[in-house]
Chains A and B, each alone.
Chain A
Amino acid sequence: MVNINVNGEEHSLDVDPAMPLLWALREELQLTGAKFGCGVGLCGACMVHLDGVPVRSCSTPLAEAANRRVTTIEGLDSAIGKTLQDAWVDENVAQCGYCQSGQIMSAAALVAANPQPSDKDIEAAMSGNLCRCGSYQRIKRAIHSAAKAHASGEKS
């Protein structure tokens, strides 16, 4: 049994503690927002927060999340998270959309740590997230506009 807290709810999971967090979320808890893209830490589609820190859930054993706070896209309800999601919609970022949960989780961690990121900061924080649809320029724009909106308190 592994005890984890996901999006504020406690769960006790009867699976191998070595199972990657991604598959526990998707197959045990039916939280399918975090996506399988590469399985080996190369694409960022599976990004979630562990105690607020972005991690690749495909490469994080469930045991490592035991007794810690996991946040997935479904539970991203911070003010900055919501502002980012709105900015994503306004900038038409998502195309197929498959990578976007992971992109937003990375962006949320970035802006939480660095409220006014520069282009370079954004590139450094986001280059671990692949988008086969090439939405990068829009992501950059959305992060800037969300950071701005957040700072001016429009949405927070």
Chain B
Amino acid sequence: MAISRRTFLLTGLAATSGLAVGIVFADDKAPAMPPYPHASATDLQPNAWLQVTPDNRIIFQLHKAEMGQGIMTGLITVVAEELGVAPEAIIRQFSGIHPAYLNPLFHLQITNASSSMVTCYQPMREAAATVRLLLLTAAAQDWGVPVAELDTRDGVVIHANSGKKAPCGDFVAIARGLPLPEKPAFKSPDQYRFVGRYNRRLESRDKVNGSAKYGIDITPKGTVVAVVVRCPHFGGRLKNFNADQARAMRGVLDVGPIDDSAVAVVATHYWYARQAADTLDIEWDAGALKGVSSQSIASDQRAALDALEAENNLPIARGSLSVEYTAGYMAHAPMEPMNATVAIDGDKVDLWVSTQAPDIARGAVALSLGCAPDRVTVHGCYLGGGFGRRVIADVAADAAKVAKRFGKPVPVKVIWSREDDLQHDAYRQAVTSRLYAELDGAVVKTWRYCVAGDSLIYNLFHVIRPVIFPPAMPDSEVEKIARKKMESDEKNLERIDEPLYQLGPAKVSQVFVQSGIPVFFWRSVGHSFNTFFLESFMDELAHQAKVESLAFRLKHLAPDSVESKLLKLAAAKAQWGRPKKGRFQGIALEKIKGALLAAVAEVSVRGTAIRVHKIVCTVDIGKVINPDIARTVIESGIVWGLSACLHDQITIADGKVEQSNFHDYALARMDETPEMEVYLVDSERSPVGVGESAVGLVAPAIGNAVFKATGKRLRSLPLKM
């Protein structure tokens, strides 16, 4: 257990807006621009996303992971609008890796942090407007008419005055020779045909007839399948193993260690490999986390908070409120189990993997094989869920190591079981937080927050090691940098750094208690617990001040703010204060990645069973591109949040995870999913991402309703009566 602590002052609202920014590397220089991976000698390709072929096809390269959040439809809707073609007329391809595709917030080719729409909206419009203007300029030259008299619609260039028409493809050859326009004009919103209206998920058909290919579905010819048995204790090691029985089993091709904590079994079929793996007789060295449990981690966190408080020596005012909240570990558990396929052919390597970060996966494979990253080609596909989990390239590294060990020029597919997935995830961090506030009548005068838990940024630097550090860098050096980076980790303070309410000056402290349990970004990250803590605490303060909980919140918000409008709208839509008989309501507010949301939950409690009947959610996500898809993703966030606060929990005993499959890591099922109403409000703000919205909002809305129903204040996640 390592500890590092820091305290600072928050004065007023969002005083620390610089906090939640991404990683910026010291050697941050403009990358060189190699040719596009899909470069063509005959097509119009003025940018990395769009291409028009002489036979009039428009092709879009999707550089983002489509993992359910709808970004494929979102980005194509934006380009379709500027091009004047229907989104479904555009051919969709998964892009390769290229510097043009780097996420400007993170300097990696990564789909994360609800950042795609925020960072791509403008570039996509420009990319499409450029293509359109080049085609129009080429047609204008060819026909000898002014550009301003031309338009494109549905793949055709039109000269309205003369009635002349020709397919866009006819102008590709001329357009290829034209200089790039500086500032192509965008369509004005009153001309929009698709943005704000287009409600069809483009890949839906493939996802209902079984033809959509996820990583696990891709089986190049000759593929062999491997399973990996990894030490169940974090930080443990392989001592020895006996594989005599396994080696003799049907279909088994190879058994052996792939690193110091894992044994792989290669077979012709997954099931043969799995059967053989179950017979392995392995002795593990449990390592440094032997004896570590969820309880010991929580008590380390408490002790660290005690020390922090003693050090800060803060006075406790009379009539103040001081409470402790906690949250446990969570697994991502995307529906598609972890898998990756690696084929080594001479010095050429192919990788097929469902990933949120192809360059991290490529780097991890290159590092495992000891080759240059540019030897590795990553092939795109759909992701059966990501939620942060698929930023980590552990399974890609596994596949590379097995392929190297196996040593034959055939593709090797590694498939983790659900048990592997739940026991070898990097989890949502467990934290303990203390909140304190002083009231002046019914108004919060000042408040404090301190949190103890693991550092995500520390773990992040280990995850992105293959892309940002030279391969030869010793582990000790990586470790040193990761520890240093921890100092700028504000992830455990998300939402606290922007409380939304006017609560007067705050003193915020954090202490990192490094448990050794791997932790990582989990859908909504720090918001997943801090929204619960702060919004429950607001209700506690309202109760103490004897003010109704919605009125108390509004008292601490500017009257005409978006926040108060959303709260009032949610209250109106949910008939706040008039729940059905036997039901109770709770309310909460959230801001995540620029999205603002309010929710009212309607709940009943019978014995220890919490039943959620209805959730009404009001949302401002800026200009909406695909309204119904945004609604589906918010519904998804609600169900995720419900699952997390009523069911899921990963617990640790003796340095390993106690849960193994969906019987003991239960997810919400249809029969417990509440009725959901989602209202998107009109907004002129630039569009923001919605992938993590609503997740954090659900637990406090439910917890606050439970308090009304029972008088019992729940201060731990998951919620237990």
Chain A contacts to B: CB under 8 angstroms: 15-16, 19-20, 23, 26-28, 30-40, 42-43, 45, 72-74, 76, 85, 88-89, 92-101, 104, 122-124, 126-140
Contacts and interface: CB of A to CB of B under 8 A. Distances in A.
Contacts of A35: 214, 216, 335-336, 384
B670 A43 contact: no
A35 B97 CA distance: 28
A55 B69 CA distance: 30
B639 to A, nearest CB: 3
10 contacts: A19-B271, A32-B210, A33-B211, A85-B205, A89-B205, A92-B201, A93-B204, A96-B336, A100-B207, A134-B673
Interface in B324-352: 333-337
A130 B204 contact: no
Given A35-B336, A92-B629, A99-B335, A30 B673 contact: no
Contact of A104 (B206, B208, B213, B272): B208
Interface stretch (B178-186, B470-478, B581-589, B661-669): B661-669
B662 A136 contact: no
B200 A97 contact: no
Nearest to A72: B210
Contacts of A27: 219, 225, 269-270
Contacts of A93: 204, 208
A96 B383 contact: yes
Given A30-B219, A95-B636, A133 B669 contact: no
A96 B334 contact: yes
Nearest to A86: B208
Contacts of A42: 661-663
Contacts of A38: 418, 661-662
Contacts of A36: 216, 270, 337, 415
Nearest to B336: A98
A89 B628 CA distance: 12
B635 A138 contact: yes
A134 B638 CA distance: 8
Interface in B354-384: 382-384
A95 B632 contact: yes
A137 B676 contact: yes
Residue among B68, B205, B675 with most chain A CB within 10 A: B68
A36 B217 CA distance: 10
Contacts of A122: 670
A89 B337 contact: no
A20 to B, nearest CB: 6
B271 A136 contact: no
A128 B666 CA distance: 12
Contact of A19 (B225, B269, B387, B639): B269
B322 interface: no
A42 to B, nearest CB: 4
A20 B271 contact: yes
Contact of B668 (A40, A73, A134, A140): A134
B210 A96 contact: no
Interface residues of B, number: 66
Given A135-B636, A136-B639, A33 B335 contact: no
A123 B670 contact: yes
Contacts, number: 180
Given A42-B663, A127-B669, A134-B638, A92 B204 contact: yes
Interface in B304-331: none
B204 A94 contact: yes
B384 A97 contact: yes
B47 interface: no
A101 B206 CA distance: 10
Contacts of A94: 201, 203-204, 207-208
A44 B607 CA distance: 30
A58 to B, nearest CB: 10
Given A27-B225, A39-B418, A89-B204, A96 B384 contact: yes
Residue among B210, B251, B269, B663 with most chain A CB within 10 A: B210
A104 B335 CA distance: 16
B418 A37 contact: yes
Nearest to A132: B335
Contact of B203 (A33, A39, A97, A130): A97
A89 B212 CA distance: 14
B419 to A, nearest CB: 8
Q: Which 9 A-B pairs have the closest CB atoms?
A: A33-B210, A134-B639, A97-B207, A98-B384, A96-B68, A95-B68, A73-B210, A32-B217, A94-B207
B269 to A, nearest CB: 5
Contacts of A134: 635-640, 642-643, 668, 673
Residue among A35, A72, A123, A133 with most chain B CB within 10 A: A133
Contacts of B675: 137
B651 interface: no
A96 B229 CA distance: 28
Nearest to A129: B670
Nearest to A98: B384
B280 interface: no
A30 B673 CA distance: 34
B200 A92 contact: yes
Given A92-B632, A123-B671, A137-B675, 12 more contacts: A19-B269, A37-B336, A88-B208, A92-B628, A97-B382, A98-B214, A98-B385, A99-B335, A101-B208, A130-B667, A132-B667, A137-B673
